[in-house]
Structure 1
Amino acid sequence: MALIEILNAEGPVAELRLNRPEKKNAVTLELLADLVAACTKLAGQPGLRAVVLSGEGGDFSAGIDTSVLMGFAGKLDAIKAEMLAPPDGVANRFQAPAMALANLPVPVIAAIDGVCFGAGIQLALAADFRIAAPGAKLSIMEAKWGLIPDMGISLSLPKLMPADRAKALIMTARVMSGEEALAEGLVTRVSDEPHGAAMAFAQELSARSPDAVRASKALVDALWENRSAEGLRLEAELQAGIMGAPNQVETVMARMQGREPEYK
């Protein structure tokens, strides 16, 4: 089973769908790699006008699969070294999918239903637009594991909200409804049928001049000063300093044992 489905790849409106419905589309390393490959394929697709990003089975994504985090045990030094030395000098493999989505030359619209947590919301934030169900649940959730968001959030969040509100969401890992996320500026609009609304919007955009739409995206991205290399490097450096440190380990153990953490 493909972890990323590409639907209507040769049409004007293509779909990218996270495809682990039995796990609420929780993100694995393989899924991240497949998403980058899918974006690379679509980036060179003639006639492409827009892309809709969604999750299979009623959820966008529950975030990083906990098996991935558990798999880091015993090899944290290697993981940190990899994070700090990305192969292209810019984005490591955790950040590359968000960068690949953001760099698609056409508008990307994320349709958000169910849960959209952690890594999932960072992928959604990499899209140009987000349409969420009113009852969807969204959270920048890494603080619950004693970590920070480091999968490309520096590409997106500074464009969407003031620093104080961003800090509050990152530090508290607050779970928001679609309506609350709209009020915070994280989503573009809400709809009872986000996928249908995203497809309709994509069709509307595809009817416009493709040159003007692509140029509009490039113009706004440039005006908002997307400093990707600097932000992505800072994400990796800060996360590497936290991972495996006593307080982060205590956070994980306390959550797994159902108790309050005791920090040093």
Structure 2
Amino acid sequence: MTEPPVTIAIEDGVADVRLARPDKLNALDPAMFAELAAAIDRLGAAPGLRAVVLSGEGRGFCAGLDMASMAAGSPGASIEDRSHGPANLFQQVAWGWRTLRVPVIAALHGMALGGGLQIASGADVRIAAPGTKLSVMELKWGIVPDMAGFALWRGLIRDDVLRELTYTARTFEAEEAARLGFVTRIAEDPHAEALALARSIAARSPDAIRAAKRLANQEGDAAAILAAESREQAALLRTPNQMEAVMANLQKRDPVFTD
């Protein structure tokens, strides 16, 4: 029986999602695209979900496109199809993590190249092992990043830096990536660090966490963002979970939240 290319385990509100083609360095083939999109849909409907950890099995996070498999087969989708709101299937496997209603933490090791870097960029936070290799490598193949990379990197990476890395397709390591903004921080065991962070997030009010992510994703001018802050706050005040957060702090105990 063929093993699924993406696995999901959910415990105490934290989903541990893994790219699972280790023999191919988790390179993206048609089945991986379909399974990643399905995983995002499943997590979007999962009751009680509080946070997600996204990682890769084996020697690296993701080596990018499996060029041979993509040439031989098709996920059954066109890049022109807007099959997932504003995104096509190929963009959804990166963009979908950004629009998922709970925080997503990517744990990177080995390499996150091309499409793999774009998928990782959809996470709210990226924790990388020392020496992890990253690249905006599409120009190596005579193409451009088209898995939501430019939408995800806008505001994250300085414009001239992003242009240089895109035009040259050069490989850089986690330490430089952290300075540039591609990586949030470095850890010897990024998966363990990501799980610890996810559990810490899961202990907060789920209503407030989801509202905070909506605000972090909010686009528009200052007036639109200010108005969104007020709407989110008004919706949170005096709700059961907000009152539980207050009482737990006053009583110096762990809060017990409900979804």
Q: One fold, TM greater than 0.5? A: yes
Aligned to 1:30: 31
Q: Which residue does the alignment assign to 2:60? A: 59
Residue from 145, 149, 152 that aligns with 1:156: 152
Unaligned segments of structure 1, at least 5 residues = 226-264
Residues 76-123 of structure 1 deviation map (CA, whole Å, 9 limit, x = unaligned)? xxx9x9212333563222112112211110000000000110110000
Query: 1:47: how far off?
Result: 1.1
Alignment of 1:102 onto 2:103? no
Change (3 A) 1:40 1:69: closer
Structure 1 position 159, deviation (Å): 2.4
2:79 to 69, 79, 83: 83
Distance 1:127 1:204 in 2: 16
| Deviation (angstroms), 1:224 | 7.2
Number of residue pairs aligned between Structure 1 and Structure 2: 218
CA displacement at 1:69 relative to structure 2: 4.4
- Aligned counterparts of 2:84 and 2:50: Cα–Cα separation in 1: 27
Specify which of 72, 86, 93 is matched with residue 89 of structure 2: 93
Superimposed CA distance per residue, residues 154-207 of structure 1 (whole angstroms, 9 cap, x where no aligned partner): 331002012111101111112111111001111110001100110111111111
Q: Does residue 1:49 correspond to 2:45, yes or no?
A: no
Q: 1:181: which partner in 2?
A: 177
Of residues 179, 186, 189, the one that matches 1:193 is 189
Distance 1:162 1:31 in 2: 30
Give 1:4 shift.
Answer: 0.4
Q: Which residue of 1 aligns with 2:5?
A: 3
Distance in 1 of aligned mates of 2:212 and 2:84? 27
Contact in 1 for aligned 2:95/2:152 (Cα 8 Å): no
Letter in 2 for 1:125: S
Q: Deviations over 1:7-50 (max 9, x none)?
A: 12x53110110000000000111111111111111111111110
1 CA distance for matches of 2:172 and 2:220?
A: 26
Segments of structure 2 that go 5 or more residues without pairing to the other structure are 222-259
Deviation (angstroms), 1:212: 0.9
Cα distance in structure 1, aligned partners of 2:187 and 2:136: 21
CA RMSD in angstroms, aligned pairs only: 1.9
Residues 178 and 147 of structure 1: CA distance in aligned 2, closer, same or farther (over 3 Å): same
Is 1:119 the counterpart of 2:119? The answer is no
Give the structure 2 partner of residue 131 of structure 1: 127
1:147 to 143, 146, 160: 143
Supply the distance in 2 between the matched residues of 1:41 and 1:11 (Cα, whole angstroms).
16
2:212 counterpart of 1:211: no
2: CA distance, partners of 1:88 / 1:95: 9
Structure 1 residue 219, shift from structure 2 partner: 0.3
Name the structure 1 match of 2:167: 171
CA contact 1:143–1:171 (8 Å) conserved in 2:
yes
Q: Distance in 1 between matches of 2:120 and 2:107?
A: 8
Q: Give 3-state SS (helix, strand or coil) of 1:2's partner.
A: coil
Letter in 1 for 2:182: L
